[in-house]
Amino acid sequence: MADVMSQIQTIEDLRRLAQRRAPKMFYDYVDGGSWTESTYRANEQDLAKIAFRQRVCVNIEKRSLRSQMVGMDVSMPVALAPIGMCGLMHADGEIHAARAAKMAGVPFCLSTMSICSIEDVAQNVKEPFWFQLYMMRDRAFVESLIRRADEAKCSALVLTLDLQIMGDRHKDARNGLSAPPKIAPRFLLELIRKPHWCFAMAQTSRRGFGNIVGHVAGVSDVSSLSAWTQSQFDPTLTWADVAWVRKLWKGKLILKGIMDEDDARRAIDLGADAIIVSNHGGRQLDGAPSSISVLPKITHVTGKACDIFFDGGIRSGQDVLRAMALGARGVFLGRAYVYGLGALGEAGVRLCLNIIEREISLTMGFCGQTDINKLSADMLML
């Protein structure tokens, strides 16, 4: 383990190791986008085009990354984004990621479509975490999820708005993605090549959607779960439903999937404490602009009315700073930390966060910046 970790210097190193260790269907689920994947690629490419303004002869000995995200003190303004089926990239993945986030002093957000349940994470991590909610047709189930998140003392609710219908993800269709995986001959051959994954998965019983199985009438096995899930994402979702959730949830409410200035204004009017500028990692509307390209427009119209968080294409600490300099108050890591999880489990997530933190600190120094809360577009070459 020590030899492997000593060779990992970047998020890309973690990605390559995760690709070798995780079964193809789960790696492709994390690493893929919808349709042609043009928006997925644009998220990374547009960030990489933004150059920094190098400054010298500034006292940079004391640099601070500490900040707040919706009132929560954080070691750096970075949160672990909600990732569906995270627990199939590595056994008990959501628990391991939450532990790593706690050790790093950053928020962890659990997905509705997680393998480990809300209660699993709460039992294993004695710190408040965030919960991400999908609006399902079964409003009674949605209400029960909100109640369970409150009982688990989740400190923020992240409501995802951009999954009313599912984008075509061709890699998933070709791989026959399912949870638990279907025991087809090609999957068995894949497992022979992935001993690390098999050994870890053999140690846990958590292989289904823990927030759903046992909590919905009539859903007791894989076949009934699949049928229920496919029918539940709700194309009728409107702002009235967002207002309904706002009334039910008394804590911090974060709205995810905002890519338009008018939608940002509506979110603020309905009492959102924060919004996340996000195109779902390029997994929904292919051909949409990159998240970073719309961020300045949204921060311009919202001002200081609520916190603006950013999601999409973050693969380094430098990407975090690019988003922060253009107005974000915090950044969500998705694929970056899941690469770490697939590569080395909890240790890989910790390593991911260490890499991000070091790259943030060094880049701030090279740009003559000492406080991450005081960044502006002046540190960029635009």
Active site residues: 280
Q: How far apart are CA 246 and CA 252, in angstroms?
A: 9
**What's the rounded Cα separation, in Å, for the pair 189 and 196?**
14
Q: How far apart are the first and last CA of the chain?
A: 42
Greatest CA separation for the chain: 67
Beta strands (DSSP E) in 245-298 are 252-258, 274-277
Q: How far is CA 369 from CA 60, 104, 283, 374, in A?
A: 7, 22, 34, 8
The per-type count for the chain, helices as H runs and strands as E runs, is 18, 12
Q: How does DSSP assign 61-130, residue by residue?
A: SS-B--EEETTEEESSSEEEPP-TTHHHHSTTHHHHHHHHHHHHT--BEE-TT-SS-HHHHHHH--S--E
Distance CA 86, CA 169 (A): 17
Q: Are 325 and 377 in contact (CB under 8 A)?
A: yes
Indicate the DSSP class of residue 354. H
Q: Phi/psi of residue 88, each to 5°?
A: -105, -10
Place of tokens 């496919």: 230
Q: What strands lie across the sheet with 156-160, from one edge to the other?
A: 78-80, 330-333, 307-311, 274-277, 252-258, 156-160, 130-134, 109-110
